[in-house]
Amino acid sequence: MRTTTGRRVVAGGRTTVAVLVGAVTLALIAAPGAAAPSAPDEGAPLWSGDGLRALLRRHAQPQPVDLGAPGLSSEAVEITDSGVVIGYSTELRLPAHAWRWQDGSAVGLLGPGGDTFAIDVNERGEVAGRSFSSDGQQALLWERDGTLVVLAGPETSAWASAIDERGRVAGHLTRNGVTRAVLWHDGLTTDLGALGDGPVTAAPGDALNERGEVVGTSWVAGRPHAFLWRDGVMAALPTPPGATSTARAIDDRGRVLGRVDDPAGPDGPVVWEDGRMHLLDPDGRSGFTPVTMHEDGQVAGQGGASGTTPMVWDRRTGLRALPSPGTESRAFGLGRPGLVVGVTAPEGARTWRAVVWVLGVPVRLGERLPGHPSPTSSTADDVNDHGQVVGQLGLNEPGTGDGYGRAVLWDLVPGR
């Protein structure tokens, strides 16, 4: 689903959005107790524009369901189209630990020690992750049955970035002071090569697609240059002479999200497609910072003078700002079609609240969680193509005021 903008806001369009937001807000009412979430049926159709418009007309606000993640405080960070969720939990004086929610239950993922995090997950539930301890940094793979495979470390410093449906894991490792991007699969480690004599790193987020292509950054004469590794060969992505570049993500069609810094010309976030570089913000005025890319080619992030205006870019419409229901907002995740999730800070508030933009219309997500106090904050971190949103509610322990969080799921399709 993921591979993780001039501004176009017309005055008339903005008025229309404001009226529609008001109508949606009046229509949304608190729903009774939420049912346990379930994964969408295999092969369930993706939403159409008509389906999203129907969502805006419904009279029930999506309510959160606690995923039951282990530990006092937990947060969900990613959900697949098959409904697999990964996240992490923390306990007082204990290391952070990873977990996976699948088939209706959450289980802890046993780590090698130290702080352990799940980084990426495929549709089958195989998880790539990392651990940090006094012994070093390790790259990890959890198989579907929870079996832990240490891909590299701690004698080397290893970093896992992404996993595909075949169980291949992209990342990089440092051995004897030399950093190289690698691909782990079936017990083998493949060195992806280098463009120069400097360090080579896989993209920090989604470095890998389903075709086995990997993107990242290779340093040449002390300067970073974005690369694409395909069919055993590393190639430099087109970059203007004298400029530097970095790659952030790649989708299943081979489109690469990254950044170019060019002292002699326009620069900023870019998408490389079919060997050509496309600037996402040609005039450089929006301050757009990409956060995530969807496989349909959309890119989401934020920009504006303070960096808190949510924005979306695609080839058809270019870069456009999303309306903010508060003083500032941020976009974190993309779903298809027309779904963006993130957070907003309501007027006069000091905390974030979870929000979903449906066809450009911001809708606040519900925060009622049975058995817990009223939340102090909420975040929506990711959404899949079937309208399931994951994130966290921030709460305070009654009597003590100690803060904690619970990983939750909002299902935008009632009675799924």
Which amino acid appears at position 193 of this protein? Answer: G
Instruction: Look at residue 238 and tell me whether its pLDDT is greater than 80.
Output: yes
pLDDT, tens digit, 9 for 90 and up, residues 325-382:
888 999 999 998 779 999 999 877 789 999 999 888 898 999 999 888 889 999 999 9
Instruction: Look at residue 45 and tell me whether its pLDDT is greater than 80.
Output: no
Of residues 174 and 11, the one with the higher pLDDT is 174
pLDDT at 22: 32
The residue assigned the tokens 């782990």 is 184
3-class secondary-structure state, position 128: strand
Instruction: Look at residue 193 and tell me whether its pLDDT is greater than 60.
Output: yes
Of residues 159 and 54, the one with the higher pLDDT is 159
pLDDT at 28: 30
Of residues 259 and 305, the one with the higher pLDDT is 259
Of 339, 372, 405, 355, the closest CA to residue 33 belongs to 372
Q: What is the mean pLDDT of the chain?
A: 85
Average pLDDT over residues 243-248: 96
Q: Could you tell me the pLDDT band of residue 297, with boundaries at 50, 70 and 90?
A: confident
pLDDT at 359: 86
Instruction: Look at residue 283 and tell me whether its pLDDT is greater than 90.
Output: no
Instruction: Look at residue 34 and tell me whether its pLDDT is greater than 80.
Output: no
Asked if residues 249 and 215 have their Cβ atoms less than 8 Å apart, the reply is: yes
pLDDT, tens digit, 9 for 90 and up, residues 154-184:
888 999 999 999 999 999 999 999 999 999 9
pLDDT, tens digit, 9 for 90 and up, residues 58-106:
656 789 999 999 998 999 999 999 999 999 999 888 899 999 999 999 9
Domain ranges of the chain: 1-95+287-416
With a pLDDT cut of 90, the percent of the chain lying above it is: 65
Transcribe 48-83 into DSSP letters.
PHHHHHHHHH-SSB--EEE---SSSEEEEEEE-TT-
pLDDT at 49: 64
Average pLDDT over residues 126-144: 94
Strand 299-303 relative to strand 309-314, pairing: antiparallel
Transcribe 259-283 into DSSP letters.
EEE-TTS--EEEEEETTEEEESSTT
pLDDT at 44: 53
Instruction: Look at residue 18 and tell me whether its pLDDT is greater than 50.
Output: no
Instruction: Look at residue 33 and tell me whether its pLDDT is greater than 60.
Output: no
Q: Could you tell me the pLDDT band of residue 41, with boundaries at 50, 70 and 90?
A: low
